[in-house]
């Protein structure tokens, strides 16, 4: 297993559309293991492959208190959204230190393959439902700050670029 480096907003590679996984083979299983390790190491509750510059439809999530209940979604599709929506403060490992309100469906039903390639259907609500929608946006090349006003988004962009410069990192890492 290995820690993967996480793309930082506004890296344009975060806007790449992820393609479906063709086969849940050893390569994908190794990616899943590395993504889980990377997510836990960064104290995140979710990570999409897009964020580690692998543009295939793989998401890992763990919203449990003990960080011992990993959920793996391969080729996920949301087949039902509740009409009821909720505004929740979100953050993202690709936009560290930034939190802002995003409105999402309170419940979703998702179909996906699990880490063994078996089909699964999942009903989710609460934080899990929000996290699934956030991670699946990444697969579409969408980062949560894109739901915010252009003014807020530009402020975040400027702040992120400044922080990166201060750390001596290149503009597109
Ligand atoms: Ni994110």
How much distance in Å is there from the Cα of 8 to the middle of ligand 1? Answer: 10
User: Residue 39: what are its φ and ψ, rounded to 5°?
Assistant: -65, -50
Element (H, E) at 17: none
Give tens-digit pLDDT for 69-97.
Answer: 999 999 999 999 999 999 999 999 999 99
Looking at per-residue confidence, does 69 or 169 come out higher? 69
Instruction: Assign 101 a pLDDT band (cuts: 50, 70, 90).
Output: very high
Is 103 annotated as catalytic? no
Single out the residue of 55, 12, 15 nearest to residue 141, CA to CA. 15
How much distance in Å is there from the Cα of 51 to the middle of ligand 1? Answer: 8
Residues 121, 111 contacting (CB under 8 angstroms): yes
Single out the residue of 3, 37, 48 nearest to residue 144, CA to CA. 48
Q: How far is CA 142 from the centre of its chain?
A: 9
Residues with CB under 5 A from ligand 1 (ion): 92
How much distance in Å is there from the Cα of 135 to the middle of ligand 1? Answer: 6
> Is residue 170 predicted with pLDDT exceeding 80?
no
Residues 54, 74 contacting (CB under 8 angstroms): no
Single out the residue of 61, 120, 166 nearest to residue 51, CA to CA. 61
Six-digit token pair at 74? 């391969």
Collapsing DSSP to helix, strand or coil, 117 comes out as coil
> Is residue 150 predicted with pLDDT exceeding 80?
yes
């Amino acid at each position: 297993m290995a820690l993967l480096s996480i793309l930082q907003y506004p890296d344009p590679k975060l806007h790449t559309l992820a393609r479906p996984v063709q086969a849940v083979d050893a390569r994908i299983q190794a990616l899943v293991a590395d993504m889980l390790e990377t997510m836990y190491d960064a104290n995140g509750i979710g990570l999409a492959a897009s964020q580690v510059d692998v543009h295939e439809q793989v998401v890992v999530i763990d919203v449990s208190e003990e960080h011992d209940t990993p959920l793996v979604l391969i080729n996920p599709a949301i087949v039902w959204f509740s009409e009821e929506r909720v505004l929740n403060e979100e953050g993202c490992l690709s936009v560290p230190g930034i939190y802002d309100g995003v409105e999402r469906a309170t419940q979703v039903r998702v179909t996906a393959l699990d880490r063994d390639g078996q089909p699964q259907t999942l009903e989710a609500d609460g934080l899990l439902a929000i996290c699934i929608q956030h991670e699946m946006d990444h697969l579409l090349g969408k980062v949560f700050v894109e739901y915010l006003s252009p003014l807020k988004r530009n402020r975040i962009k400027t702040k992120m670029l400044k922080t990166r410069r201060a750390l001596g990192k290149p503009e597109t890492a």
